[in-house]
Amino acid sequence: MASFRFLHCADLHLDSPLRGLEADAPAEKIRGATREALANLVDYVIENRLEFVVAAGDLYDGDWQDWRTGHFLVGQIARLSRERIPFIAIRGNHDAESVITRRLELRGEFTRMLDHRRPETFRLASLPVSIHGQSFATKAVTENIARGYPAPDPDRFNIGLLHSSIDGREGHANYAPCTLEQLRDHGYDYWALGHVHEREILSHDPWIVFPGNLQGRHINETGQKGASLVTVTDGKVVDAAPISFDTVQWARIPVVLTADADEEIALAQVRAALSAAFERANGRLLAARISVSGACVAHDSFSRDLGAAREKIRGEALNVAGPGMIWTETVEIATTAPAKVTEQRERPDAIGQLIRALETIGDDVVLDDIRTYAAAMLDKSNPLRQAIGDQHAATNDALSRDLIRRARELLLGSMAE
């Protein structure tokens, strides 16, 4: 049987809106990232003379703002068609038949969007390869559509294109449910899956693969993103290798400051962590969430002016990479008072007593006091109550707890001096 290579991609989410983007972000670069990743994929397929491309759903992120999203996809696929490289796709939950109201046909000699009413098979003319699949008709397909896929074509290499979370994957809606066992027993040589944005190889016999999404879109989609390069030798899959196509890489950068870190040392430690992450991004724009923690000397100056501390840390990102190379999505500061407090805690006098009280008093007790106090203040001022309604800070648990924690840290920090 034949030997060949093809590319399996999924979850392109073209023109996905950006979450958590601030005014100073290199917005154009990040906004264009899903498109640039697809252009990179097409470049790669043409340069490496791959035989064909399969796309397992969610090519679009949802209904288009305008026609340009569709035009972009059609234009990129046309680059493949001109090279006589087939592109076979299905629609996923994000670009289901009923979701996309504007429509551009993907139906040519080398291009096919498989049917949403029933499973369809596309047989390559150039190779003994059959690609079976069914598009999503609606956003939430809850039946086991893989069960209806046809039996494998004899003497051909059979691929199943399926947008599904199989028997459920954390954080992913359970669409087109099925079991791994069912897919294994179906008789295909390769299951090209989509929907789960994390890369995962579920089985090697036959190969059942999630390639992950083509380009990370927010802080929960970290690390390198791309597609799977599948190598078939004598009709047998020998490898499904990850190839990166992303141009923006999301990263969480935790920095645990050492106890002796004053502000200068703390910023040097942040710089070192950013440098390492920037290296790993390998020329891509790094979108970073920096979380600084640890019991350290710098805690005191940081807690006095959190805003300034954040800006200093953002400054280090510029310092490391120059403008437009690291975009700091968020700076989280959760440092604690240095160990000096531990010594002070043992003091027999009022200071020791106060420190112990501050450390042991429960958030709930403080929260109750604040609520009582806030309610009393509001009772005294009707206009104030009307102005802010019931949504004042004291009723927001998460916010209040954060404020209490920071107030406590600030007090402990200044008593340690």
Nearest distance from C-beta of residue 214 to Mn ion, angstroms? 10
Question: Residue 211 or 413: which CB sits closer to Mn ion?
Answer: 211
DSSP structure class, residue 326: E
The residue at minimum Cβ distance from Mn ion is: 58
Q: Phi/psi at 241 (nearest 5 deg)?
A: -95, 140
In the bound complex, what is the minimum distance in angstroms from residue 72's beta carbon to Mn ion?
Answer: 18
Question: Is residue 150 a contact partner of residue 159, using CB atoms and an 8 Å limit?
Answer: no
Listed ranges 5-13, 234-242, 357-365, 377-385: which one lies at the site for Mn ion (CB under 5 A): 5-13
Binding letters toward Mn ion, positions 57-86, x by CB under 5 A: -x----------------------------
Q: Which of the residues 302 through 341 are near Mn ion (CB under 5 A)?
A: none
Q: Which of residues 11 and 316 has its CB atom nearest to Mn ion in the complex?
A: 11
CA distance 158 to 61: 28
Nearer to Mn ion, 11 or 15 (CB): 11
Q: Which is nearer to Mn ion, 11 or 189 (CB)?
A: 11
**Before 206, cis peptide (omega within 30)?**
yes
Q: Segment contacting Mn ion (CB under 5 A): 4-12, 41-49, 257-265, 308-316?
A: 4-12
Q: 78-105: b or e for each residue (b if 16 or more CB lie within 10 Å)?
A: eebeeeebbbbbbbbbbbbbebbeeeee
**214/394 with CB nearer Mn ion:** 214
Stretch that binds Mn ion, among 9-17, 145-153, 241-249, 387-395 (CB under 5 A): 9-17
Q: Number of residues in contact with Mn ion, rule: CB under 5 A?
A: 2
Least separation in angstroms between CB 63 and Mn ion = 15
Please state the closest distance from residue 60 (CB atom) to Mn ion, in A.
10
CB of residue 2 to Mn ion, shortest distance in Å: 31
Beta-strand runs (E) in 108-261: 111-113, 120-123, 129-133, 157-163, 190-194, 200-204, 207-210, 226-233, 236-244, 248-256
Whichever of 57 and 86 has its CB closer to Mn ion, that residue is 57
Toward Mn ion, which CB reaches closer, 58 or 329? 58
Cα–Cα distance for residue pair 199/56, rounded to 1 Å: 13
Residue 145 DSSP label: G
Return the amino acid letter for 344: Q
> Beta strand pairing status for 4-9 and 190-194?
unpaired
Nearest CA to 186 among 168, 210, 203? 203
Q: Shortest distance, CB of residue 92 to Mn ion, whole angstroms?
A: 6
Distance CA 127, CA 125 (A): 6
Output the smallest distance, CB 61 to Mn ion, in A: 8
The least CB distance from residue 197 to Mn ion, in Å, is: 6
- Smallest distance, Mn ion to C-beta of residue 261, A: 41
Q: How far is the CB of 195 from Mn ion (least distance, A)?
A: 6
| Rg value, the chain, Cα | 27
Which residues, in sequence order, are bridge partners of residue 336?
295
- DSSP assigned state of 1: -
CB nearer Mn ion, residue 11 or residue 300 = 11
What would the two tokens of residue 126 be?
């150039």
Q: From the list 7, 8, 11, 400, which residue makes contact with Mn ion (rule: CB under 5 A)? A: 11
- Residue 55 or 77 having the CB closest to Mn ion: 55
Residues 6+ apart with CB under 8 A from 355: 341, 344, 345, 347, 412, 415
Site for Mn ion in 20-59 (CB under 5 A): 58
The residue range among 6-14, 45-53, 62-70, 169-177 that interacts with Mn ion, by the rule CB under 5 A, is 6-14
The nearest distance, CB 211 to Mn ion, in angstroms, is 11
Terminal alpha carbon distance of the chain: 77
| Segment interacting with Mn ion (CB under 5 A) among 7-15, 16-24, 61-69, 131-139 | 7-15
Instruction: Name the one range near Mn ion by CB under 5 A: 8-16, 37-45, 167-175, 183-191.
Output: 8-16
Of residues 139 and 340, the one with the C-beta less far from Mn ion: 139
Q: What DSSP element (H or E) covers 267?
A: helix 263-281
Q: Which is nearer to Mn ion, 157 or 210 (CB)?
A: 210
Does residue 120 touch Mn ion according to CB under 5 A?
no
CB under 8 A, 24+ apart: contacts of 346-355: 351/415, 354/415, 355/412, 355/415
In the complex, the residues that contact Mn ion under the rule CB under 5 A are 11, 58
